[in-house]
Amino acid sequence: MRILITGFVVFVIWSFISSWLYVDKIKPAMNKPVAVQPSPETQTQVADTLIQPKVLLPDDMIIYFEFDKAEFKSDLQTDSSITEFNTWLDKNQGSMLTITGHTDLIGTAEYNQALGLRRAQVIQDYFESGGVAANKMITVSEGEDQPAVIDQTTEEGRAKNRRTLITIKK
């Protein structure tokens, strides 16, 4: 019986305290108006101008090569990509076109490094003939160091690593 009476007394005290807390403290705090500071228009315009160029940035382009070759045959997709890259570079003076040559792991590291550079230079020459300024391009060879496909035990895996990657760097 003593436990019941003690429990009832604690319940009544808890009810009074929680009612007082809700009515006097929590409810008025919820009804207070919150001061909202409007953001200045210039911040929105600055943010919009920063976002806009990313939308127009051309996608990276990958050109694949045959085994131990650095020959390239153009197609319509590549020609249209040259136009997109050239337009971007003309509008954004600080941007550069990076052409990175890659190889599979067959051969020595030195040979693959040289082959990757030859592949990148072939693409650079093609882009120059398409109107892209030579001072707007950087050619680099990664050789076999950065494979796109880790599993090079199959011909398909090695073929995906024989590539040249064309990207825009700001």
> pLDDT tens digit string along 132-159?
888 888 899 888 887 777 777 788 888 8
Q: Which class does domain 53-169 fall in?
A: alpha beta
Nearest Cα neighbor of 170 from 100, 97, 101, 99 is 97
Q: Give the whole-angstrom CA distance, residue 139 versus residue 124.
A: 7
Using the predicted structure, report yes or no on whether residue 50 has a pLDDT greater than 60: no
Element (H, E) at 99: strand 96-102
Task: Give the pLDDT confidence score for residue 55 in this predicted structure.
Answer: 47
- CA distances in angstroms from 127 to 17, 71, 97, listed in the order given: 78, 14, 10
CA 126: distance to chain centroid?
26
Each residue of 102-121: b (16+ CB within 10 Å) or e?
bbbeebeeeebbbbbbbbbb
Q: What is the distance between the alpha carbons of residues 162 and 164, in angstroms, rounded to a whole number? A: 7
**Over 70: is that where the pLDDT of 19 sits?**
yes
Q: Is 143 exposed, middle or buried (0-12, 13-18, 19+ CB in 10 A)?
A: buried
pLDDT over 90 at 6, yes or no: yes
**Averaged pLDDT, 7-23:** 90
Q: In this model, does residue 92 exceed pLDDT 70? A: yes
| pTM as predicted | 0.64
What is the tens place of the pLDDT at every residue in 96-135?
Answer: 889 999 888 888 888 888 988 999 999 888 888 888 888 8
How many residues appear in the chain? 170
Unique residue bearing structure tokens 């040249």: 164
Q: What are phi and psi of 47, to 5 degrees?
A: -65, -40
pLDDT at 64: 86
Mean pLDDT of 60-68: 85
Q: Identify the three-state secondary structure at position 98.
A: strand
